[in-house]
Chain A
Amino acid sequence: GQQVMQIPQYQHVQEGEDFTTYCNSSTTLSNIQWYKQRPGGHPVFLIQLVKSGEVKKQKRLTFQFGEAKKNSSLHITATQTTDVGTYFCAGSDQTGANNLFFGTGTRLTVIP
């Protein structure tokens, strides 16, 4: 079955440092979504990538979709304490599935 792996599982950074989480799929993805879950909260949608090699930015966040559509990354520039949480990628394979496979998540801690 489809698997979506994320690395690292945990990341501690000093406030102001950059942060990157990587998402890798065993199969080619039709699309990938990113979600953020604050501590004690629920996942909230951030963005979706669909095209091969696509790059999207949201302020300090940069999202990339690999050329082969098997991997994706989320990069945060100059982290702030408000960035704390777990970041999940979620993808769907190209068989037209009606549900997403969520990655294992990367928990980000920002040290003030």
Chain B
Amino acid sequence: DGGITQSPKYLFRKEGQNVTLSCEQNLNHDAMYWYRQDPGQGLRLIYYSQIVNDFQKGDIAEGYSVSREKKESFPLTVTSAQKNPTAFYLCASSVGTNSYNEQFFGPGTRLTVL
């Protein structure tokens, strides 16, 4: 069964701690994306990757880091430098690396920093 998985669904962390969110896809997609969703603000792009071992900053990359060591995996680390990390985080992937390809989203991880 093909798709995108994100884990965990809910995550709680103490302020000042780094946390890594998992994103795995078995769709054989080249491009992967991380978005942050806050109420009333839509989806904002954090990072995206067009190919293994390469990634680009999105609109709100500060306080986040990513890696793309495997085609299937694109983990996101929320560092202690992110001033307001509590949010819903969505991972997505697409076949190609241009904007004409539809994006497939994972179920999301809701991060709460206490």
Please give the residue numbers on chain A whose beta carbons come within 8 Å of chain B beta carbons, in ascending order. Answer: 1, 6, 9, 30-31, 33, 35, 41-45, 48, 50, 88, 90-92, 96-105
Contact = CB atoms under 8 A, between A and B. Distances in A.
Nearest to A29: B99
B113 to A, nearest CB: 21
A46 B48 CA distance: 22
Contacts of B107: 41-42
A45 B43 contact: no
23 contacts: A9-B40, A30-B99, A30-B100, A42-B90, A42-B107, A43-B43, A43-B103, A45-B103, A45-B104, A48-B100, A50-B100, A88-B42, A90-B43, A90-B103, A97-B99, A98-B56, A99-B33, A99-B45, A99-B48, A99-B58, A99-B99, A102-B35, A104-B41
Given A45-B103, A100-B103, A101-B45, 18 more contacts: A6-B42, A30-B100, A31-B99, A31-B100, A33-B103, A41-B107, A43-B105, A48-B102, A90-B103, A91-B99, A96-B98, A98-B98, A99-B48, A99-B58, A100-B99, A102-B45, A104-B41, A104-B42
B15 to A, nearest CB: 26
B33 to A, nearest CB: 7
A41 B105 CA distance: 10
Contacts of A44: 105
A96 B40 CA distance: 28
Contacts, number: 63
B1 interface: no
Give the bracket for the number of chain B residues in contact with chain A: 20 to 34
Interface string B91-114: 010000111101111111000000
